[in-house]
Amino acid sequence: MNLNKKYALFLGCVAPARYPGIESATREVCKTLGIDLVELEGAGCCPAPGVIKSFDQDTWLAIAARNLALAEKQGADILTICNGCFGSLFDAAHILHEDPERLRAVNKILREVGMEYSGDVKVRHFAELFYNEVTPETIKAKTKTPLDLKVAVHYGCHFLKPSNIKELDDPERPKILDELVEATGATNLFYRDKQMCCGAGGGVRSGNPELATKFTEEKLKNIKAAGADYIIDVCPFCHLQFDRTQKDVKGYDIPVIHLSQLLGLAFGVPASKLGLDLQEIPANF
């Protein structure tokens, strides 16, 4: 494993506010895998890619750059546990690394709060770090309790796209999450429209909740038809959308498990540290 470096854990907004078990699970799993996490003290919103970035790119870039500068001050790359945070911070890091003019403009703003950014911090999503640096083979070797579960994997929108700069996987036929899940012993089920959005992203959950619910219901219908007992995601916002929507629509009671929580179960982390019971649809183990 090529893990001889520090990662600043970027928690985002939804996990600490709504699903603290995701944070706890991530810390436990990283400890098991020997990944050195440092606190990103003073971090702000990523900021959400479907909101601020849509209205004012300069403001979005400056806010994101402040988070990158905090990590740089600690000599660490950023590790995200959320697709939206990953999308926003990865895009900002890419722009500031490739465009000296925009980096100069951002630093002019950052200097007003006594900060500066060089443009060299890398942003990693925990799932791709686990896949590319840890590897599914190591996940399998670390698994103490092979999971006899039938699951449906949800990738979400911002994990792999834009694929031309992330270059993590085929965005139409990805395998990263499937192979990580299968390494735990879980049965990974194919279902219709697997790459479809959860319904919440881009401000849809707030701006048009009825449309967001329709998207989510369609995914839930397809997941249920495939026979899955659990939904596996890698994004707290997708997690929230699947979990909370099932409270409002009839006919579904499929617990949602963040990949870090699933790995925690496989590694033998006590369920009490994973927060799986602190959801609208609890996952009891």
Tens digit of each residue's pLDDT (9 = 90 or more) over 106-135:
999 999 999 999 999 999 999 999 999 999
Q: Which amino acid is at 4?
A: N
User: Residue 260 has what pLDDT?
Assistant: 98
- Going by pLDDT thresholds of 50, 70 and 90, the confidence category of residue 51 is confident
Lowest mean pLDDT among 43-52, 95-104, 174-183, 210-219: 43-52
User: Residue 241 has what pLDDT?
Assistant: 96
| C-beta atoms surrounding 209 within 10 Å | 14
Domain-embedded: residue 137: no
Residues 15 and 99 in one domain: yes
Domain-embedded: residue 77: yes
Closest CA to 39 of 7, 62, 66: 7
Between CA 29 and CA 258, with CA 25 as vertex, the angle to 5 degrees is: 105
Q: 2 pLDDT exceeds 80?
A: no
User: Residue 5 has what pLDDT?
Assistant: 83
What average pLDDT does range 45-49 have in this prediction?
88
Question: Which of 93, 125, 157 marks a domain boundary?
Answer: 125
- Going by pLDDT thresholds of 50, 70 and 90, the confidence category of residue 211 is confident
Element of type H or E holding 256: strand 256-258
Residues 201 and 97 in one domain: no
Q: 176 pLDDT exceeds 90?
A: yes
User: Residue 4 has what pLDDT?
Assistant: 63
Number of domains in the chain: 2
Q: Is the dihedral of CA 20, 260, 187, 221 positive or negative?
A: positive
Closest CA to 16 of 43, 35, 36, 38: 43
| Mean pLDDT of the residues in the chain | 94
Residues 185 and 67 in one domain: no
Residues 149 and 260 in one domain: yes
Q: 270 pLDDT exceeds 60?
A: yes
% residues pLDDT > 90 (the chain): 88
| C-beta atoms surrounding 173 within 10 Å | 9
User: Residue 3 has what pLDDT?
Assistant: 67
Q: 1 pLDDT exceeds 60?
A: no
Residues 31 and 79 in one domain: yes
Which stretches of 72-192 are assigned E, i.e. beta strand?
77-80, 123-125, 150-153, 187-188
Tokens coding 241: 């959308």
Domain-embedded: residue 55: yes
Q: What is the DSSP letter of 271?
A: G
Which domain does 151 fall in, by range? 144-273
The verdict on pTM exceeding 0.85 is: yes
Q: Output the domain CATH number for residue 202.
A: 3.40.50.11810
Q: Does residue 2 or residue 119 have the better pLDDT?
A: 119
What average pLDDT does range 187-205 have in this prediction?
89
